[in-house]
């Protein structure tokens, strides 16, 4: 099996990035918990598109795309993607920003689940490390290409840049089955957040500077 092709994404890749993230997070327990259940697919696409346009395809972010040559022609644009915030890696959502975006947040969650998304964003902002770091906001692999090594290659590629900067890295993981994956790349859990009795959970993971 050939090595994945990995490149930095541009705004021309926005549609493909949105598609990969929406498909990759379609079974995510935390996203399912706070997102409007009847509009899940549409809301997810809208949410990822806004985040990518405003933050991760902007000057303070960087996105990567990876694909396996045997998975299809290059014009498909990739089957794994990640979105990073450059150092200092501050949490992108301040309290003032969340207040301004209340209508947008309610569109994501619906009225009944609005307290959930507010709780999630507030706790994530409170727990976000203050030490300068690279922040891995999103990493997803198209379901058809999971367990092929493309996600691992994508993460290793980005971490090489992190290590060249001699910086730590931080992420928030919402799937228990992904813990081992991130641990293999040097991340360690320092706190687990619980948002309801019995879950969903969010594992806060830190990778020291190399």
CATH of the domain at 105: 3.40.630.30
Mean pLDDT to the nearest integer, 131-142:
96
Q: Report yes or no on 145 lying in a domain.
A: yes
End-to-end CA distance of the chain, in Å?
29
Question: In whole angstroms, what separates CA 173 from the centre of its chain?
Answer: 8
Q: Tell whether 189 is covered by a domain.
A: no
Distance, CA of 103 to CA of 98 (rounded, Å): 9
Question: Mean pLDDT throughout 16-24?
Answer: 94
| Cis amide prior to 88 (ω within 30 degrees) | yes
Closest of 131, 138, 142 to residue 190, by C-alpha: 131
Four-residue CA torsion sign, 187, 192, 198, 201: negative
Token pair in block for residue 201: 């959970």
Residue 102 falls inside a structural domain:
yes
184 occurs within a structural domain: no
- Please report whether residue 92 resides in a domain: yes
Q: Is the pLDDT of residue 170 over 50?
A: yes
- Whether 192 is covered by a domain: the verdict is no
Range of the domain at 10: 5-165
Number of domains in the chain: 1
The structure's pTM equals 0.91
Place of tokens 């099996």: 1
Average pLDDT, the chain: 89
Task: For 39-87, write each residue's pLDDT tens digit.
Answer: 999 999 999 998 899 889 988 899 999 986 655 544 445 689 999 999 9
149: pLDDT strictly greater than 90 = no
Q: Is residue 205 part of a domain?
A: no
Instruction: Classify residue 193: in a domain, yes or no.
Output: no
Confidence of residue 143 (pLDDT cuts 50, 70, 90): confident
Interacting residues of 52 by C-beta distance below 8 A, sequence separation 6+? 14, 17, 18, 63, 83
Residue-level pLDDT at 22:
94
Q: Using one digit for the tens of pLDDT, what is the confidence trace for 74-132?
A: 444 568 999 999 999 987 666 556 666 788 888 899 999 999 999 998 999 999 999 99
Amino acid 95: pLDDT:
55
């Amino acid at each position: 099996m050939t090595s994945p092709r990995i490149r930095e994404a541009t705004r021309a890749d926005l549609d493909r990035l949105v598609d990969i993230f929406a498909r990759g997070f379609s079974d995510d327990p935390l996203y399912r918990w706070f997102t409007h259940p009847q509009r899940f697919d549409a809301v997810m696409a809208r949410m990822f598109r806004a985040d990518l346009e405003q933050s991760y395809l902007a000057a303070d972010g960087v996105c990567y795309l990876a694909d396996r040559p045997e998975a299809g022609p290059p014009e498909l644009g990739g089957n794994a993607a990640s979105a990073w915030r450059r150092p200092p890696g501050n949490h992108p959502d301040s309290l003032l920003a969340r207040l301004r975006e209340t209508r947008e947040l309610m569109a994501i969650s619906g009225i009944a689940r609005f307290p959930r998304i507010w709780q999630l964003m507030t706790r994530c902002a409170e727990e976000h490390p203050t030490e300068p770091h690279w922040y891995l906001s999103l990493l997803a692999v198209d379901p058809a290409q999971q367990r092929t090594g493309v996600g691992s290659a994508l993460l290793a590629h980005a971490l090489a840049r992190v290590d060249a900067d001699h910086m730590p890295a931080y992420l928030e993981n919402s799937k228990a089955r992904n813990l081992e994956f991130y641990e293999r790349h040097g991340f360690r859990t320092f706190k687990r957040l619980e948002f309801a009795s019995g879950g969903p959970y969010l594992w806060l993971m830190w990778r020291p500077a190399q």
